[in-house]
Chain A
């Protein structure tokens, strides 16, 4: 169905080497670092920037490879294999930079600084149904948006705000702007890039801060989410692949019952299940990305299927991998349990049941 281009293979390899050499070696210790402000590997980010990974989603005339979703997926899988938190910070940046690049005014005003600063990360703050959803009134934004993915390490936030009759609008707000506060929130996994709790208290915004037209926010974010849906799937696959490799390594080293445990039928079957689950989830995610890139009619349903399957894949593969590791898998020192905590991101972010229902409605022609 799809073949990778030479350029895609080269980028995949670049990301793989980068994640293996510069992210994975730091990930276990940073994951356990109690101080949230000291978890993110900023030097690794600078290095990723120099390799072009931070700006990868920008259009080719801006130095990126966007909007090729398959390419982004191939790279994100490798980054998530290194560490999910680090990968999520870049994924968020890709998403937000895509919107900046598509808006002429925002591109002229914000992209030069983004391109120049190799430590500048971006994040999306979509409206949520919390206690005090963000609203825009008379040139000010106010309200709260808890749990922005990788929000605590982002310098610039694209904030969706309810704006009177117009619907919702997007504003680009620097995290250190007066009236804007972002507090880091601790989570079970994805810990290298802690989530951000955004509090806006009469934060002044002008028309120059807008991304898109007034009232266009929901449409812009919705369109972006549909196009980039395979990214959410592939990051879970990257985590599952880490756990799979960890388990395979252990199964080929550990001796119980007088032989390498991979030689026992029960363990071999489990390793087979893991491979099957992982490859199924991975193939579906990449196929969905290909379908999106080619404007295929079934792109939305494939992307939904990929997202649902990826959450199941990450959960199952990590659970199996822990069992292969035995008691060692439950100890922090082994490093295995981190993947299981990271995998939980895939079934808490978004609403798997809503995806299932939507997929069923698309299938029955009643969407």
Chain B
């Protein structure tokens, strides 16, 4: 049985208010102007980020006894929506830090050496690096041939150290992050499920550098970049999880977080809906507000319904993942898939209601349309979530390649 009632606690509501107020006052006013900067390394609003950090918005996922707010996954969803409504690309920078900072708690070495640095440094962000030019879906399905998936190599040295060589690309927060979690191939003779291992390093480690910064269609306030490893030497203590079990490790860590990525679509859709609703209230055609014209009202009804359905399944999945012993993993998958497709529908509806005005860059809607297209590839393309659900229906937990 899965739970059907989800209620927000006082803590959730306080976090929601904090995030909403900050987003409205600090993020929304700079969003569109920053989006228009061409250089993808110049768009990140560092001053706003530092202000957020001072308010505790960078470290809420860390337990209270370690200096955070002990935010759960449902709180993550609730607060993230408020930030992402103001700007989804920048909001994702918070999501990334909230989620990945919890990885610092997974080993004693990271907790002792890096958690204090993370807590103290307002600028400290993370990359979670898996994708390579020839390894996208391969890492996520996963594909277990030795001819595919991540090739960035970590080779054991006689003294127990690891030597990393290779390259990642499209990595979110590349160029602005300090701490990097990286999937490496520790056994090229095995598939990624048995031969992949995660390591942690900081960007100043000798031999590491950020490469090309990718310019994107949307989500322009945060950069994605190449990560280049040229004889990077790491101690074995920098290894995260068991040797060869990197994918299983990150999979177990990531599963309760699946619904958090649905929030991006919900937030962008909500922003498009709210601004379109306001326009349709204010614009009078033939003596009546647009909102009261049947064709317009029907599109707005579709938009509202789409968003409400996505949020309902997302919050249910978030609550269930942490509280329901019989949690159904398919809930997180469907929340991602539904939200990713929903936001593209909602933004297309918004564009149609705005008409030619919506196509202009001096209007807020076209940016939301561009942002909406980020969602089809978060945590894998839409069909990958269909295949994950299919695999779950077939009773297979992981591994194996459908198709």
Binding site for B on A (CB under 8 A): 32, 34, 129, 147, 185-190, 195, 255-258, 264-267, 270, 315, 319, 322-323, 326-333, 337, 340-341, 344-345, 347-354, 356-357
The chain A residue sitting closest to B217, CB to CB, is: A337
Instruction: Give which listed residue, B38, B143, B358, contacts A348 with CB less than 8 A.
Output: B358
B344 at the interface (CB under 8 A from A): yes
Number of B positions contacting A (CB below 8 A): 50
Q: Among B253-261, B309-317, B376-384, which stretch is in contact with chain A?
A: B376-384
Q: Is the CB–CB distance between A347 and B366 below 8 Å?
A: no
Instruction: Give which listed residue, A187, A188, A323, A340, contacts B381 with CB less than 8 A.
Output: A323
Please list the 6 inter-chain residue pairs (A to B) with the smallest Cβ-Cβ separation, ordered nearest first.
Answer: A188-B366, A337-B217, A186-B361, A353-B295, A348-B359, A264-B403
Task: State the CA gap A255–B214 with chains docked (Å).
Answer: 22
B148 at the interface (CB under 8 A from A): yes
B216 at the interface (CB under 8 A from A): yes
Chain B contacts with A in 188-215, Cβ cutoff 8 A: 214-215
Measured between beta carbons, the chain A residues less than 8 angstroms from B46 are none
Q: Is the CB–CB distance between B137 and A257 below 8 Å?
A: yes
Instruction: Give which listed residue, A195, A266, A323, A354, contacts B387 with CB less than 8 A.
Output: A266
Extra inter-chain contacts (8) besides given A326-B381, A337-B373, CB under 8 Å = A32-B38, A147-B356, A185-B360, A329-B373, A330-B218, A337-B370, A344-B351, A349-B359
Task: State the CA gap A187–B360 with chains docked (Å).
Answer: 4
Q: Is the CB–CB distance between B377 and A327 below 8 Å?
A: yes
- Also in contact, A188 and B403, with CB within 8 A (given A323-B382, A333-B214): no
Measured between beta carbons, the chain B residues less than 8 angstroms from A332 are 214-217
The chain B residue sitting closest to A324, CB to CB, is: B381
Task: State the CA gap A327–B216 with chains docked (Å).
Answer: 10
Measured between beta carbons, the chain B residues less than 8 angstroms from A353 are 295-296, 299, 352
Q: Is the CB–CB distance between B373 and A186 below 8 Å?
A: no
Q: Is the CB–CB distance between A257 and B141 below 8 Å?
A: yes
Task: State the CA gap A266–B143 with chains docked (Å).
Answer: 15
Instruction: Give which listed residue, B141, B218, B355, B360, contacts A186 with CB less than 8 A.
Output: B360
B288 to chain A, nearest CB (A): 14
Q: Is the CB–CB distance between B381 and A348 below 8 Å?
A: no
- Also in contact, A256 and B136, with CB within 8 A (given A186-B360, A349-B359): yes
- Also in contact, A319 and B217, with CB within 8 A (given A258-B147, A340-B373, A352-B352): no
Q: Is the CB–CB distance between A315 and B348 below 8 Å?
A: yes
Q: Is the CB–CB distance between A266 and B359 below 8 Å?
A: no
Q: Is the CB–CB distance between A256 and B148 below 8 Å?
A: yes
- Also in contact, A344 and B138, with CB within 8 A (given A319-B376, A323-B376, A332-B216): no
